[in-house]
Chain A
Amino acid sequence: MELAIFYLVAAVAVLSALVAVAHRNPVVNVLSLIVTFFCVAAVFAMQGADFLAGAQVLIYAGAILVLFLFVVMLLGAPVVSGEENPRPVQKTLGAFLAAAVGIGAFFLFSSLREAETKLSEAGNTTRALGRLLVGPHLFAFELVSVVLLAALVGALVLVKRKH
């Protein structure tokens, strides 16, 4: 039963990821990536990472992709003409690298047929994650706030119009 659910979620994730990178219209790309992110949140939830599942929907699907959609709509959903036939070098190199990663991952990881263990506090990771963030990982936590501040200021400066 769990295996069936996993295969369903994985199939939807891979299909919508393919549409997200392959379709011409940027709005369709963003919307299918939202579907992919929901599937990834489902994968997180299946492994007992409940806080991350909620955070994935809240941050990725609910904030980052809204930003993407805003920019796409502001630019008028631009479609780059002539994109369907890239140069031969680019086509072969890109397809080869992507296929190498995919097939290589498949063969490398399918040999790892280990049993899966759920998290011991399956389904209540929030408290433990909070303790870890303000305990051993306090420095990284504070540093990430500086990174976000830098990104905020950087984005504002980059789009400032010279009046």
Chain B
Amino acid sequence: MALSRDQMAIRVARELQDGYYVNLGIGIPTLVANFIPNGMQVMLQSENGLLGMGSFPSEANVDADMINAGKQTVTAVSGSSIFSSAESFAMIRGGHVDLTVLGAFEVDVSGNIASWMIPNKLIKGMGGAMDLVAGADNIIVTMTHASKNGDSKLLDVCSLPLTGKGCIKKVLTDLAWLEIENDAFVLKERAPGVTVEEIQAKTQGRLIVPEHVPEMVF
């Protein structure tokens, strides 16, 4: 079975470490915040200028001046800090954020990522995604393995305009955990019940399959 959105978030959360500063993108990455292991301290960075993002506020505590990068009303945790956009992107660009999790349309074997622009469709803009992928060393991309039409999103060469070049090393899809090494996707883990053959069939880019590919356990 392909992973659910929550299972994808749970798998990403296993990469968290105590004391990490983490930036979570919109969509599945945001769900990771729900699965931070008990007893582990993680600070969430929101690129509009908040380090230490908390949960959504109660109705009584909604504050128009307190939002996250998705423009949602949020709270700040004890020990948080708030700063300007320039300061926020100094943290990101300067490589101070320990882990960045974001979605994508395509990733290729060179670590290129396309996530913001589909030609001839409406272009809304890249927001902070280009800064995030250029600045972070440790990035996890979360996306479905193939489109609804069955087209692979793991390619030899991205077909869409890039968000960043050569910056992705880890990809979690609904079918597999893969790492990019030596111009290939290396299949590290399979979703429960998903065969290597299915993953091979849905991966257009060069795929290396080690002798033993463990199943994820939930």
On whether the two chains bind one another, the answer is: no
By a beta-carbon cutoff of 8 Å, the part of chain B in contact with chain A is: none
